Chains A and B, each alone.
Chain A
Amino acid sequence: MVLEKIRDILMIAVFGSSSTEIVSLVLAVTYVVGLWKIFEKCGVKGWWVLVPVARVYKLSLCADREIEGRTLSILEGVMTLINISRKFVDAESTAGDVLAVAMLMIGLVYMVYSIRVYLGLIQVFDQQKVWVILWIVAGGLPAMLWGFQKKYQPLWQAEEIRNDADAFFSGNKAAVLDQGLTVNLEERTAKEFFKKKTLLRDIHMYVQPGHMVLLLGGSGAGKTTFVNAVNGYEPAKAEIMINGKNMYKNYKSMQYDIGFVPQLDLMRGSDSVYRTLTDAAALRLPSSFSKPERLARVEEVMDIFGLAPVKDNLVSKLSGGQRKRLSIAMEFISNPTLFILDEPDSGLDGVMARELFEQLRHIADQGKIIIVITHTPDRVIDLFDDVIVLAKDAQRTGRLAWFGPIAEAREFFGKERMEDIVKSVNREEEGGEGRADEFVMKYAEVQHA
């Protein structure tokens, strides 16, 4: 009896079921064997297939569906526990019923997530989507076919080989001056599912006051992570100095010296323009400001951004351009030294976008530092002083591929258009040229020189 239970538990752990029916057993064994080979093809160690819970996570890595894999592995862990518990509980009892219902519920969710992972695997192996039916109904068959037949090969590996750029550090620290912004970012890491992931590494720069800087980078290169590290919202292992003061050490007092305008116009549609700005002033301006002073600042900002004619309109009734200007005005109300804008031109036509960037140029000319993320930089590139190019290296870590004047960037990358520069550092599977590592190292060499 005890031996039988131990056997069942082992069967559940390895194959996910304790069924001794010949068909189930054959499918379970072939699934494990086939998956072993698939793992090896994808660059994952085959023995992971014998580790319950971790198996589905590793499969999701092969399928480039890591997020789904996390959920799936948690679900499998719970299902394994329930399955084992059911061996010790009377199936006819209330506890047995509860476990059965729980198993059904989790099983349904598990199936949905499995479909997502299998679809990812199908994409990685460049196969027809119809395979997913076979994977769900009898996983052992496709696992054996894909695992043992040479014609089924993944388009890319789950775990890539480390290359030179990964180990390479420029080590050049940017100077700290009384005026301007200095970024000395060693690394920015995040823990995801018990795994440390480096999001950004080795970024050093000094931005002069009055400069308008373009921040370029492909999807996932770490642009938003970078600006969040700079504005202190998501601190990194770094030293961020604004006008000689350490941002992280003085976050409370310097928080209002940085304006961050998010990509979306995050404002309440039920408020009027005037009310939105007076509330923003009440929050952002120091309490030493008297009410008349606050209202005067609101009027001033409305004039700067051309919002005075619509001051009584509800935000929900504003045009896209007006909304964008209001969103910027909300941050500008505290007269920040550093102004960061995440795609301020999204949803605006060429003329409106140009007008907006000209306004930003005007603000920069007053001695402010402006950093802008945009995906259509070429139509307004003449307004910028510098460009920061972030690129995802082979380890998918955001690295600095360039910081400096626009003209020099063109020469460095050998590209005229900014959009072509982004394309050159983007990965091949994203439609780019996959030269990120090359430029990261080249830029480091330039800095050393």
Chain B
Amino acid sequence: MPEVVENEKHREREYRHRGRTAQIPIYLGKQLRFFINESDWKVLPMAAVIAALVSLVVRGKVFVNMEGTLMGAFAITCVAIWNGCFNSIQAVCRERAIIKREHRSGMHISSYVAAHMIYQFLLCLMQTVVSIYVMQLTDIGFERMAGFMTPWMMVDIGISMLLVSYAADMLSLLISSISRTTTGAMTVMPFILIFQLVFSGSLIPLPEWIRPLSNCTISTYGIRAIASQCAYNELPLDTVWKTLNDMRDSELEETVTVGRLLELTDSSIVSRYREETIIPAVTAGEAAEFLNIRLPEETDKDLILSDPVSLGEILDLLANSEFVQANKDKGVTLKATMGELIDAFGEEKVKDFVMKKTADAGYKEEYVRTNRNIIGNWLMIGLFIVLFAVLSMVVLEFIDKDKR
């Protein structure tokens, strides 16, 4: 009996083939050879060109104000998604028939996908390093702000970029696993890119009913992570003040009737100030000083010549004046430039006011600069990576069902 068991064991050993883990290096080797011998290496210079183009557009704006930072976060995310998508969109479908043959010869799909995951991660890492280096060279301004998760902003942004790029890569790997041909995969690709960019919900406001869709995009979490790292909420919002300042020479001109002006005196704003003293009480001393005369008696100087006059009294006086009543329908032209109005309140004061109030209005909870928020967004992107990789494996397990 033990001899039979020994024989069975021997037979098992004889027929046992490479397991899943042992197969990974075979396919990883194939991917690396493909990188050298075929065209995969081209994604590196392509990443540099794309990063340079984007960086030249957004440099000087990121880390400076809210709108520039959001634009930068969007642009960096676009670069990462673009890189990731193009890395693997044809990776599986171009060799679908070969995979089918190898699957028939004992290849494990999980080993094949795992090899792809390792290879694509290396590719994304190289692209991220190249992109960040190019952005640094083109003065995007990483040095303007210290990093939050690490001491260096470029490393912080690099981690987010790598994750976004890798998630987009895994999404493309899934599309490539589903598609039967490279043409099919390349047809789907633009829709995926547009969906990721439009539905990120950052630069393009989405209608309320469609907003939940943005939670299904990698770009949403990428932009959130990068905007948070760049301290979006702590930056001013320049646009409104800059627009106002640019309008300095613009004239405001309006002709209103006297009657309309009188109606305005009943408005709630004016009512609030009706009790305010406009003309204070005048003493004899003050009047003498103004007229440069001497009072007969020094003691008369505190004598009150007229009572204080409030805004309400003046307005009432005007409203009841016969002259005003007679000219109620007469038009009065009010004219001032934006510059005059700004100067009337004081430029610095207006600027501080506008920038503070607009920054408060631009504050977004999802861009708050906390470890919890940034890591939360990274984890969400990580979930996408795992989901897409698992789905790729599941889809490829059915490769034998392909029609001949």
Interface residues of chain A, those whose CB is within 8 Å of chain B, are 94, 224, 233-234, 252-253, 255-256, 260, 262, 264, 266-271, 275, 279-280, 282-288, 314, 330-331
Contact = CB atoms under 8 A, between A and B. Distances in A.
B16 A283 contact: no
B23 A283 contact: yes
Given A282-B26, A283-B106, A252 B34 contact: no
A292 B106 CA distance: 21
A287 B23 contact: no
A283 B98 contact: no
Given A256-B15, A268-B33, A284-B105, 13 more contacts: A253-B11, A253-B15, A256-B106, A262-B97, A262-B101, A267-B98, A270-B34, A275-B33, A283-B17, A284-B17, A286-B13, A286-B16, A288-B13
Nearest to B101: A266
Contacts of B400: 233-234
Interface in B19-41: 19, 22-23, 26, 29-30, 33-34, 36-38
Contacts of A94: 209
Contact of A287 (B18, B29, B33): B18
A286 B105 CA distance: 12
B107 interface: yes
Given A279-B26, A279-B29, A256 B17 contact: yes
Contacts of A255: 106
A266 B16 contact: no
A256 to B, nearest CB: 7
Contacts of B105: 256, 280, 283-284, 330-331
Interface in B97-155: 97-98, 100-102, 104-107
B37 A314 contact: yes
24 contacts: A94-B209, A234-B400, A253-B15, A255-B106, A256-B106, A260-B104, A266-B101, A268-B34, A268-B95, A269-B37, A271-B30, A271-B37, A275-B29, A279-B30, A280-B105, A282-B18, A283-B17, A283-B23, A283-B106, A284-B17, A284-B105, A284-B106, A286-B16, A287-B17
Given A255-B106, A256-B106, A268-B30, A288 B14 contact: yes
Nearest to B107: A283
B404 interface: yes
A269 B37 CA distance: 9
A264 B33 contact: no
B17 A264 contact: no
Nearest to B23: A283
Contacts of A280: 105
Nearest to B34: A270
A260 B103 CA distance: 12
Contacts of A269: 37-38
Nearest to A271: B33
Nearest to B98: A266
Interface of B: 11, 13-19, 22-23, 26, 29-30, 33-34, 36-38, 95, 97-98, 100-102, 104-107, 209, 400, 404
A270 B34 CA distance: 5
Contacts of B17: 256, 283-287
A133 B95 CA distance: 40
Contact of A286 (B14, B30, B38, B102): B14
B404 A224 contact: yes
Contacts of B19: 287
B276 to A, nearest CB: 52
Nearest to B40: A270
Contacts of A330: 105
Contacts of A260: 104
Contacts of B14: 286, 288
Contacts of A285: 17
A253 B95 CA distance: 27
A69 B10 CA distance: 54
Contacts of A275: 29, 33
B26 A283 contact: yes
B6 to A, nearest CB: 15
A409 B38 CA distance: 49
Nearest to B22: A287
A314 B36 CA distance: 12
Contacts of B97: 262, 264, 266
B209 A268 contact: no
B38 A270 contact: yes
Nearest to A276: B30
Contacts of A288: 13-14, 16
B36 to A, nearest CB: 8
Top-3 shortest CB links A-B: A270-B37, A253-B15, A266-B101
Nearest to B13: A288
A46 to B, nearest CB: 32
Given A266-B97, A268-B95, A268-B98, A233 B29 contact: no
Nearest to B36: A270
Most chain B CB within 10 A, of A94, A283, A288, is at A283
A331 B18 CA distance: 16
Given A224-B404, A267-B98, A268-B98, A286 B106 contact: no
Most chain A CB within 10 A, of B37, B97, B102, B105, is at B105
A271 B36 CA distance: 10
Contacts of A256: 15, 17, 105-106
Nearest to B97: A266
B248 to A, nearest CB: 43
Most chain A CB within 10 A, of B11, B14, B37, is at B37
A286 B101 contact: no
B51 to A, nearest CB: 27
Contacts of B95: 268
A279 B19 CA distance: 14
B273 to A, nearest CB: 48
A269 B34 CA distance: 9
A283 B102 contact: yes
A270 B37 CA distance: 5
B104 A233 contact: yes
Contacts of B404: 224
Contacts of B11: 253
Most chain B CB within 10 A, of A252, A253, A270, is at A270
A262 B98 CA distance: 10
A237 to B, nearest CB: 18
B37 A283 contact: no
Contacts of B101: 262, 266
A331 B105 CA distance: 8
Most chain A CB within 10 A, of B19, B23, B104, is at B104
A104 B38 CA distance: 42
B15 A286 contact: yes
A287 B102 CA distance: 17
A280 B102 CA distance: 9
B400 to A, nearest CB: 7
A90 B115 CA distance: 51
A256 B15 CA distance: 9
A330 to B, nearest CB: 8
Contacts of B26: 279, 282-283
Contacts of B104: 233, 260
Nearest to B32: A270
B404 to A, nearest CB: 6
Contacts of A268: 30, 33-34, 95, 98
A94 B207 CA distance: 11
A157 to B, nearest CB: 26
Nearest to B102: A283
B344 to A, nearest CB: 47
